[in-house]
């Protein structure tokens, strides 16, 4: 998967399994400095446990840190 935060380009490998399980063990980034929001995102995305798509097509990733990360397709 590839993406961006306010200051970095991101790249990560992921695996999916039964019952929509999701694992993102590490995320590579282009720079070392990150915004507070970007650091929170990076801190939580590697704790992904599962995912769902809602009726509008939004991807929701749930984490073991009790966070839900929501993504819209552009």
pLDDT of residue 55: 93
Let me know: does 43 contact 57? Beta carbons within 8 Å: no
Let me know: does 14 contact 23? Beta carbons within 8 Å: yes
Per-residue pLDDT tens digits of the chain, which is 74 residues long? 998 888 889 999 999 999 999 999 999 988 878 888 888 888 899 999 999 999 999 999 999 999 999 998 77
pLDDT of residue 70: 94
Q: What is the pTM of this model?
A: 0.83
Q: How many structural domains is the chain composed of?
A: 1
- Distance, in Å, from the CA atom of 47 to the CA atom of 6, rounded to the nearest integer, reads 21
Provide the domain limits for residue 8: 2-71
pLDDT of residue 7: 87
Residue 36 phi, psi dihedral angles, 5° rounding:
-60, -45
Helix, strand or coil for residue 29? strand
pLDDT of residue 39: 86
């Amino acid at each position: 998967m590839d993406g961006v935060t306010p200051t970095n380009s991101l790249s990560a490998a992921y695996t999916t399994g039964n019952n929509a399980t999701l694992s993102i063990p590490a995320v590579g980034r282009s720079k070392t400095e990150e915004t507070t929001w970007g650091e929170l995102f990076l801190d939580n995305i590697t704790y992904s446990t599962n995912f769902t798509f809602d009726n509008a097509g939004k991807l929701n990733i749930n984490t073991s840190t009790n966070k839900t990360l929501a993504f819209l397709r552009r």
